[in-house]
């Protein structure tokens, strides 16, 4: 996969997508990355929501650290910004 392409949720079979798995199995069946992707909602051009969630986990280490991060820290991740 080249650097400009990004794995998207739509690349997964429907039954394997985070939203469908959440509905069928509950939140405990999803990884932290998948739960973050659901909260984030969508990606940006050339960067999927799954990539953004993965980058957040890599930078902060866990969901607790992400929840305690400042908007300035979060905004360093391309695809995360304050709503206008």
Structural domain contains residue 1: no
Is 56 within a domain? yes
Identify whether 41 is part of a domain. Answer: yes
- Residue 24 inside a domain? The answer is yes
Half-sphere exposure of 33 (CA within 13 A, CB side): 16
Amino acid 1: pLDDT: 39
**28 inside domain:** yes
Domain membership of residue 2 (yes or no) is no
- Residue in 30, 6, 10, 26 with CA at minimum distance from that of residue 18: 30
What is residue 10's predicted lDDT score, i.e. its pLDDT? 82
Instruction: For residue 54, tell me if it sits in a domain.
Output: yes
DSSP structure string for 37-66: HHHH---BTTB-HHHHHHHHHHHHSSHHHH
Reading the block at residue 35, the tokens are 């739960």
Number of domains in the chain: 1
Instruction: Evaluate whether residue 22 is within a structural domain.
Output: yes
Residue by residue, pLDDT tens for the chain (84 residues) are 344 456 778 888 888 888 999 999 999 999 999 999 999 998 999 899 999 999 999 999 999 999 999 999 999 999 997 555
State the residue range of the domain holding 55: 9-74
């Amino acid at each position: 996969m080249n650097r400009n392409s990004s794995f998207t949720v739509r690349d997964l079979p429907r039954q394997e997508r985070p939203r469908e798995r959440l509905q069928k199995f509950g939140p405990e069946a999803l990884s932290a990355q998948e739960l973050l992707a659901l909260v984030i909602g969508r990606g940006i051009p050339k960067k999927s929501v799954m990539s953004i969630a993965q980058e957040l986990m890599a930078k902060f280490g866990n969901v607790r650290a992400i929840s305690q991060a400042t908007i300035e820290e979060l905004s360093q991740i391309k695809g995360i910004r304050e709503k206008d």
